[in-house]
Copies of this chain bind each other. A is one copy, B any other.
Amino acid sequence: MEPIKHIGIREGMKVSKLVEGMRDIGFGASKIGKISEIVLEMFKDKECKVFLGVAGAMVPAGMRNILMDLLGEVDVFVTTGANLTHDLIESLGEKHYKGSEKQDDSELNKMGIDRIYNVFMKKEVYHHLESFFEKNWEEFENCNNIKEFLWKIGELTGKGILGKCWEKKIPVFCPAIADSGIGLMVWGRLAEGKKIKIDAFDDMKEIIDLAWTAEKRGIIYVGGGVPKNFIQQALQFSKGADYGIQITTDHPESGGSSGALLKEGISWGKMKKQGKYANVICDATIALPLVLGYIKDKIKED
């Protein structure tokens, strides 16, 4: 048995040292240490294809740069339409704002502000979205699946998460794209009589192929939801994940996929019995910066 080494905080301490210290203690901190090590290991393993699934409003919350950093290391990205809409909003020059969950919502409504917990967004962003899709609609008419549609957005803006996915040819999936501001923009054009032909099932072929053909598979889940489940489903057609970490505030006992511990995936054949995996129950805006701080310092070491 390895003794708990009480964590010591020093002046000028680096984030990576802090995370190393967390690894040597107990409770949630030890999970932060463990997930950081597993992420490092899957990034360093050249045989490992890494699948990143991100739910939750991470872009409005200020995690856009961190997600873009992670996209430098991952092979497949699955997220929600909300995150991609908010990414596009920023690519079009708009911003999100620091707000408060205590603000009166009907006052905010009058002021033209949408609230996402303690983040605010001006309703006028929708005009920019409208213009973008109106101006570029013809570009989308030849897209056959959601990935092509999303890559096209990235190609057109050349910025942000979708810009990076396009530039680095990272497959980006979003099964519930209709359920987002981007979906609304498409609906708006359809209502004007314009056409588009995006197949609801077509992307499945690619993600299942990606899982099937990988030597090894690593998974990083932020927040559960459809992104987690869509990757898990693809893993069912593989030998299972070799590495896996999950950051969520959901708990297993309500029975949903979002809070299910990764080991549940072993019964399904989505995780390998001997895979390395860890779960941490933590707000991702707190946990992800710690993990990335560790990765940044350690990725270049042998």
A: residues with CB less than 8 A from B are 1-16, 18, 21-22, 24-32, 55-57, 60-66, 69, 82, 95-99, 101, 105-106, 108-109, 113-120, 146, 175-180, 183-184, 186-187, 190-191, 196-205, 208, 223, 225-226, 229-230, 233, 236, 249-260, 263-269, 273, 281-287, 289-290, 292-293, 296-297, 300
When chains A and B are docked, how far (Å) is the Cα of A29 from the Cα of B7?
21
Q: Which of A117, A199, A269 has the most CB of B within 10 A?
A: A117
Given A4-B62, A32-B286, is A267 in contact with B197 using a C-beta cutoff of 8 Å? no
The 6 closest A-B pairs by CB, nearest first: A25-B62, A28-B283, A29-B285, A105-B266, A176-B176, A26-B119
When chains A and B are docked, how far (Å) is the Cα of A46 from the Cα of B65?
39
What does DSSP make chain A's interface, helix, strand, loop or mixed? mixed
What is the CB-to-nearest-CB distance from A149 to chain B, in angstroms, rounded to a whole number? 9
Count of chain copies: 4
Q: Which residues of B contact A229 (CB under 8 A)?
A: 82, 179
Is A293 touching B26 in the complex (CB atoms < 8 A)? no
Is B201 touching A198 in the complex (CB atoms < 8 A)? yes
Q: Which of B3, B65, B191, B196 contacts A97 (CB 8 A)?
A: B3
Given contacts A4-B95, A175-B179, 11 further A-B contacts (CB under 8 A): A7-B62, A8-B65, A12-B16, A25-B285, A26-B255, A27-B118, A28-B254, A106-B266, A175-B175, A187-B208, A191-B205
Q: Which residues of B contact A32 (CB under 8 A)?
A: 286
Given A4-B62, A98-B1, is A264 in contact with B115 using a C-beta cutoff of 8 Å? yes
